[in-house]
Amino acid sequence: MGASRTDAGVHALGQVASVATESALSATAVQGALNAMLPADIRVLRVGDADAGFDARRHARRKRYAYLIDNGAVASPLLRRYAWHVRVSLDVSAMRAGLGRLRGVHDFSAFRAAPGRSQRPVCHVSALHVVQHRSRLAIVVSADRYLHHMVRNIVGSAVAIGRGTRPSAWMGDVLASRDRTTAGPTAPAQGLTLLRVLY
């Protein structure tokens, strides 16, 4: 049982999975066996014993994702599979101001891919930051739960603000609307990475 499902093209550095087994193998042996069988782009970094009944998905309290944007005039070929190249210079201060309106407990229906995929559209976003290093931006989001495409839709809206096509205050209007058609486009999958699952 994986802690978090991800869309095709999304990456994970901190995915957690739970498994019940009657095997007497040590955790080290299980890790070695898994890595011997998995494809080269998937690696088990750590294996340990958990309490009986532990469920990686149901016991997760928060998940942290990062979305990487390559904001250079020329796309980095090394980041092609891991970032969204946005060549127009982005106003990072305006993006931060807009994203700040999403912190807290809200109905995130406006950032959900389609109604009905999740019964409860209310999420608690405990942290939302924009980290900039030269021409690279990372939008880091921590929340107790996520709706389908929620982070990618938030990023698409933040980029619209960064490009200057929308004011920062628009992010709050989108949130209040609870209407997906008012938000920005869905950011491409390859820029999104699950960083950590917190228990």
75 in any annotated domain? yes
The CATH number of the domain holding residue 179 is 3.30.70.660
Angle value at C-alpha 145, between 144 and 150, nearest 5 degrees: 130
Residue 116: predicted pLDDT: 63
Residue 119: predicted pLDDT: 75
> From start to end of 42-93, where are the E strands?
62-70, 84-85
Residue 5: predicted pLDDT: 80
Residue 180: predicted pLDDT: 96
CA distance 152 to 6: 11
CA distance 84 to 79: 8
Helix (H, G, I), strand (E, B) or coil at 110: helix
The whole domain housing 161 covers 62-198
What is the pLDDT tens value at each position of the chain, 199 positions in all?
Answer: 899 887 889 999 999 999 988 888 999 999 999 999 999 999 999 999 999 899 999 999 999 999 999 999 999 999 999 999 999 999 999 999 999 999 999 999 999 997 665 578 999 999 999 999 999 999 999 999 999 999 999 999 999 999 999 999 999 999 999 999 999 999 999 999 999 999 9
CB count in 10 Å sphere of residue 116? 7
31 in any annotated domain? no
CA distance 193 to 64: 9
Q: Which of 7, 51, 107, 173 is catalytic?
A: 7
CA distance 75 to 52: 48
Residue 72: predicted pLDDT: 96
Q: Determine whether 7 is an active site residue.
A: yes
157 in any annotated domain? yes
Q: Are 196 and 141 in contact (CB under 8 A)?
A: no
CB count in 10 Å sphere of residue 1? 12
How many domains does the chain fold into? 1
Place of tokens 């107790």: 144
6 in any annotated domain? no
173 in any annotated domain? yes
53 in any annotated domain? no
46 in any annotated domain? no
28 in any annotated domain? no
